[in-house]
Amino acid sequence: MNTTRRVVITGLGTVNPLGNDVPAFWEGIRQGRSGVGAITRFDAAALDVKIAAEVKNFEPERWIEPKAARKMARFTQYAVAATAQAMQDAGLSRETINPERTGIYIGNGIGGYEIIEESMAKYLAHGPRRILPLTVPQIISNEAAGNIAMAYGIKGFALTSVTACASGTDALGAALDMIRAGRCEVCVSGGTESAITGFGIGGFQIIRALSSGFNDSPAKASRPFDRDRDGFVMGEGAGILILESLEHAQARGARIYAELAGYGVSCDAYHLTAPDPEGAGGARAITLALEDAGVARDAVQYYNAHGTSTPLNDPLETTMIKQAFGDHARRMKVSSTKSMTGHLIAAAGAVEALACVLAIRDGFYPPTINLDNQDVEGGCDLDYVPNHGVDGDIDVAASGSLGFGGHNAVVVIRRFRP
């Protein structure tokens, strides 16, 4: 891969439980506010889990033509809305891009669960002739990328990464490689997800992945690295970054947020849902990302952890970080923004990369909220920026994602210097 071709970030957009645009999201992060609450999307009485991190007060018509929005599942609406924000932020439009030299790489893990439930109910009650006509084009994961392509006339490529909770990070890394390889000059990239339905929550509940002990205090439920954590909180939303070759961005006088400098990817080849207990795969992904970026491990000041708030993930991820960073792991700051957003599944890595960009821009280390009793005895013994964010210069940040199936992905983002 030609790593001499630099790739920069020129636009940001998001819809997530903390806010429906970048300023609202970042304000929530800086305040250490939780986006978790009681489930309102459906009646959760039959479930043990009654909380989630829902997107709130989302009005798709603000970003999407109403007729088009009605043909989209929620995960696609979120992606198209976040893309509209990011394109506007980057100063790009349908009229100003070169459609053949622009691409799309979006991560999605699950697709349109609410459409599956509604259509399956009609099928079971009335037979196949009552299946909703748009069922297939609404449920499949690639439809987010397809709808973005149609909205902006993008004809270079429109690809989808489906690697569970690593999907958004893998999409960013693959987009980085596509620009480096010269396959495009601009790429719309990130992740999107919306699986807060009875089936979605029930499916994750049955494998005991979700928090069920904080139904009466939902804002306290997502507590990575804390002794009392009992599972992750399902979230939803989208994060989109506009990536460009440095030459293209400079030629049009674009404002540059940061440089997407490196990507590392590995697979545990160990278990369907559990990470390798040795942590070697995740550590290797970190090391590969640093090597790809040409960054020494002791140059990284901030690591945005996968940090799911599950008993299994948090100490094992800490082990991965120690393996990859050595003694430096105890000097840098590590935090989990999932403590505020919940777990956005395929959108998680993209929103967390976006948080790293803003952390570099503003010199602010995001907190891990609800870290009241750090699980040091359980192996969670790093500086996780407990409860309150901290000001400080950040030149290099990394963000890691771990997905069911043993997928490990890491991106490195650094302050842009010409």
Give the whole-angstrom CA distance, residue 246 versus residue 8.
Answer: 6
- Token code pair at residue 36: 């978790």
Q: Which amino acid is at 376?
A: V
- Known catalytic residue at 380: no
Which member of 343, 356, 380, 407 is catalytic?
Answer: 343
Catalytic residue among 248, 306, 380, 407: 306
Six-digit token string for 311? 């008993």
* Contact between 89 and 242 (Cβ < 8 Å): yes
Per annotation, catalytic residue among 165, 184, 187, 356: 165
Longest CA pairwise span in the chain (Å): 63
Determine whether 407 is an active site residue.
Answer: no
**Contacts of residue 199, Cβ cutoff 8 Å, sequence gap at least 6:** 113, 116, 117
How far is residue 371's CA from residue 363's CA, in Å, rounded to a whole number?
Answer: 22
Residue 316 CA to residue 333 CA, distance in Å, equals 17
Q: How many CA atoms lie within 13 A of 198 on its CB side?
A: 10
- One DSSP character per residue, 166-223 reads GHHHHHHHHHHHHHHTTS-SEEEEEEEE---SHHHHHHHHHTT-B--S-TTSGGGS--
Strand order in 237-245's β-sheet?
Answer: 157-161, 102-107, 186-193, 237-245, 7-15, 258-267, 407-414, 396-403, 302-304, 333-335
Q: Is 165 a catalytic residue?
A: yes
Q: Which residues have a catalytic role annotated?
A: 165, 306, 343
